[in-house]
Structure 1
Amino acid sequence: MWCIDFFKASFRITVPALAFTLSGVPSGRAQTVSVAAVCNPASDGSNPCPRHIRLHTASSLSAMARVGKAMFFDQALSGSGHFSCASCHEPSLHYGPAGTAPVFLGGRNADRQGRREIPGLTYLERQPPFSIGPDDAVADDVVPAVAVPATVTAHAAKSAVNTASSAANLVPQGGLFLDGRADTLLQQARGPMFDPDEMAANKDQVIKRLQTADYAAPLRELAGVRGQKSSDFLLAEGLFALARYQIENQAFHPYSSKFDFWLQGKAHFTPEESKGYVLFNDPAKGNCAACHVDTVKRDGLPPLFTDHQYEALAAPRNMALQRNKNPSYYDLGVCDQKPDGRKNLAPYCGMFATPTLRNTSTRQTFFHNGIFHSLEDVLDFYVLRDIEPQRFYPEDTRGKAQLYNDLPQVYKSNVDRTDAPFNRKPGDVPALSRSERKAIIAFLKTLTDGWSDENDNYKK
């Protein structure tokens, strides 16, 4: 969870990796937690304990991935003939959306709003399958299982330095999309292609295109005899090709941000970036690292800045979305991924996936409904949501802010009000001042890919 400020715990770890014991957890038993090297920036902004990280080696795309690349940019795979995967996932924007529209306008006539904001496609290659289990953000593996508590239990506080306490929580984790309904990139590719509000293709149309496009011949050869006999198998192979393109193309996971250079001891943070880095990790301040993990684990892979889990943060209802004009309509995230989810997954209604923060500063829409349009807006909401709720939520007839107005009353208890900086109420001092929020944003900008060490003025 980033290089963690362990001065709060009265000690500092500067060795490559070790295990330490935390005591005083609710169960009364000490728990051992594996932690990678952690340290704060030095006075000159350098990393005093640089790490060796395993990076993907660029190589030529396989034949299947080349088919996937052609499909990724093929507008003829949409119902209108005007949309491709790249229409939503712009390569120049790290495969995220362009513009400030909260959701994509798609469909056969480009006049239908998508259900949710467009997520980025970078850094999905290590996403585990969906499961519900212990909240253990430092675990190396996630065991696919579903364990839902019969009743809602108290939420143990979560921070980057106290994973033993929060491990008692049962939380949703893994999966693709904002609700985790797909486990593989192949499954993910199928979703927007056939969604009537997005690419709006139909199965017969896509199969015909796969049989006649410039890439049809190599796809048929790769699909083999079965692909030639079964159109369904040919379709599955096409979706697999899209997945292979995302896995093999280094542009989807370059790990080329200033932070990655800094992590390896090859860059220096500015004073503002260093300040933001420390605040990001401080469990009493930003506490961002509790969910946006920056730890280099035993496998040596770079951090993804997500714990793959889900949170209910109570983003305000976005009335720019046509669906929200209906007062009975609610998008409840995880518990809407299954028909019976609002009953069987009730403790998780209102929870959406914690995204990676890599390349977040290049986005112009945030949260599942695209309600915010800048990192300044997001940080203000995080810090002031319950201190100045009138800034974010409409008032009722009595002039009182309608807290968490995009959730039915029965699910409002799912909202995170335990973890800093959300553990505040009206009249409390914010966890982060405005200048501190500005510093965190400066640090977040170091997570944008495409940085060059030639830009490191501190080395010159």
Structure 2
Amino acid sequence: MFRFLNLPRLVMTLAILAIAGNVVGRAQQAVDGDDPQAGALRALYAGKPESWPAPRLGEGARFIEFGPLPRLPEATPREKALADIGKRMFDDPALSRSGQIACASCHSPELGMGDGLRTAFGHDRQRGHRNAQSLYTAAWMTPLFWDGRAATLEEQALGPMLDGKEMAGTARLIEARINRDKGYRTAFRAQGGQRRVTLQTAASAIAAFERTLRPPRTRWSRVMERGVAVLTDQELEGLHLFRTKAGCAACHNGPLLSDGQFHNLGISFYGRPREDLGRYDVTGDPADVGRFRTASLLGLSRTAPYMHNGLFPTLEDVVSLYNVGGGKDRTQGRNGVPAPIHDPLLTPLKLTRQERDALVAFLKVL
């Protein structure tokens, strides 16, 4: 009877079954928390963030340890009332020239306080060249905008209202509409305001509302409260990579997971049709060509697409960019504008597929 057996095929089948059993066994170990590598990581991350493995930093990095968001001062009754007015204004298209665009058009609570678009549409369907940033952490972040051109939330609130491509309003137009509205007049007067509402007063109200915004509670919030026990083995591996081999913590650190600095990632499209010089247009400093502010990662999975130009629709795309050391801007200056300087913190990471997947899994925790 043995002459009918195909021995090479039998050997191959047994080998496949053995490999499958090993994979299943390792997967079960991971689920049970018995994977030796995962166990070692859990020991390393058992304490508070300040006891975790030291982050991989580089030239120019400014690191602050991870932690919960600091408490903001308790709002006064007047500030709370002003924020209530600002909430209505935030949703009010009357603050735009067309009467059809509100602040909430680009910063929707249902879309992570962004708009879900690569770049935002504004007045007469004009398309801007930058992604609408989430406002989850606006109360803590300064300066504001991708290029840092606004020093305060009040200044930030004025920007879109008066920008010709966004809401395209004017002080005269907006003030006239606000002062014709009995509800606004009554609410502002109740706060001891001037008889006539000004554009600056309106900006103060919107800023007061934006200071009430908070990032959503996520599993990262629970990590800050209860430790890494809430993470899966893959997510914990991603956290470790974030701090070490991937080098993410060099820029994304502190309670906001942002260093608040400006970096050139090589995606300014310098010298090409989609060029954006970033911080340079604000400061005129050659070192700022193509630099943009480090975004907070809190609520990250709700705020796609990513980067100042909305270039990447998924977190996998973002990780791939960093894995190759960033983009490749041109290195020769032109028309009096100096060439961008690639950020020295960006170097090829050589992450494996498994490591990239783990890093993405961790980012989704945030």
TM-score (norm. length: structure 2): 0.75
For residue 347 of structure 2, what is the aligned residue in structure 1? 423
1:117 maps to which residue?
131
Q: Distance in 2 between matches of 1:366 and 1:442?
A: 16
SS of structure 2 residue aligned to 1:256: coil
2:246 equivalent to 1:286: yes
Cα distance in 2 for residues equivalent to 1:15 and 1:269: 15
8 Å contact kept, 1:350–1:411: no
For residue 178 of structure 2, the aligned residue among 210, 222, 241 is 210
Does the alignment pair 1:335 with 2:335?
A: no
For the residues of structure 2 that align with 1:197 and 1:241, how far apart are their CA atoms? 23
Paired with 2:216 and 2:50, the residues of 1 have a C-alpha distance of 21
Corresponding residue for residue 62 of structure 1: 80
Is structure 2 residue 297 aligned with structure 1 residue 357?
yes
Matches within 5 A, 1:363-378: 363-378=303-318
Q: Does 1:446 align with 2:360?
A: no
Q: Does 1:313 align with 2:265?
A: yes
User: Is contact 2:215–2:298 with CA below 8 Å preserved after alignment?
Assistant: no
Change (3 A) 1:81 1:260: same
- Do the aligned partners of 2:63 and 2:253 also contact (CA within 8 Å) in 1? no
What residue is the counterpart of 1:104 in the other structure?
Answer: 120
Q: What is the CA–CA distance in structure 1 between the aligned matches of 2:160 and 2:45, rounded to whole Å?
A: 46
How many residue pairs match? The answer is: 312
* Match of residue 246, structure 1, among 210, 218, 225: 210
Tell me by how many angstroms 1:115 deviates. 3.0
> Which residue type is aligned with residue 330 of structure 1?
E
Q: State the partner residue of 2:199.
A: 235
Q: Which amino acid in structure 2 is aligned with residue 103 of structure 1?
A: T
Letter in 2 for 1:404: D
Q: Deviations over 1:198-229 (max 9, x none)?
A: 111121111012112232311234353xx225
Match of 2:13 in 1: none
In structure 2, what is the Cα distance between the partners aligned to 1:55 and 1:361?
24
Q: 1:382 to 1:203 in 2, by over 3 A?
A: same
Q: Assess, with a 3 A threshold, how the Cα gap between structure 1 residues 408 and 375 changes in structure 2: closer, same or farther.
A: farther
Going from structure 1 to structure 2, the CA distance change for 1:286 and 1:223 (only over 3 Å counts) comes to farther
Question: By percentage of residues, which structure has more strand?
Answer: 1
CA distance in 2: counterparts of 1:370 and 1:381, whole angstroms: 13
Mapped partners of 1:260, 1:15: distance in 2:
14
Q: Give the aligned partner of residue 127 of structure 1.
A: 141
Q: In structure 2, how many angstroms separate the alpha carbons of the residues matched to 1:183 and 1:221?
A: 29
Query: Are the structure 2 counterparts of residues 217 and 183 from structure 1 closer, same or farther at C-alpha, using a change threshold of 3 Å?
Result: same
Q: What residue number does 2:36 align with?
A: none
Measured after TM superposition, the shift of residue 431 of structure 1 is 2.8
How far apart, in 2, do the equivalents of 1:115 and 1:83 lie? Answer: 18
Residue 372 (structure 1) shift = 1.5
Structure 2 gap ranges (5+): 1-39, 52-57
- Tell me the residue number matched to 2:329: 404
d(CA) in 2 for partners of 1:34, 1:352: 18
Gap change, CA 1:54 and 1:316, over 3 Å in 2: closer
Aligned partners of 2:129, 2:46: CA distance in 1, in Å?
45
1:382-439 C-alpha deviation (Å, 9 max, x unpaired): 11246xxxxx7xxxxxxxxxx31498467445111x32xx324xxxxx4311221111
The alignment partner of 1:264 has SS state of: helix
Residues 103 and 113, structure 1, Cα contact 8 Å, conserved in 2 = yes
Whether 1:260 and 2:229 are equivalent positions in the alignment is: no
**Counterpart secondary structure, 1:337:** helix
Which structure is larger by alpha-carbon Rg, 1 or 2?
2
Give the aligned residue type for 1:240: S
Instruction: Please identify runs of 4+ aligned residues in structure 1 that moved more than 4 A.
Output: 11-18, 33-36, 51-61, 405-413
* Contact 1:314 1:406 (C-alpha < 8 Å) held by counterparts: no
Using the TM superposition, give the Cα deviation of residue 305 of structure 1 relative to its aligned residue in structure 2, in angstroms: 0.5
Distance in 2 between the 1:368 and 1:406 partners? 20
Q: TM-score, normalised by structure 1?
A: 0.61
Change (3 A) 1:363 1:35: closer
Instruction: Label 1:316 to 1:260 Cα distance change in 2 as closer, same or farther (>3 A).
Output: same
For residues 198 and 406 of structure 1, the distance between their equivalents in structure 2, rounded to whole angstroms, comes to: 32
Matched residue type, 2:341: N
Q: CA deviation at 1:52?
A: 7.8
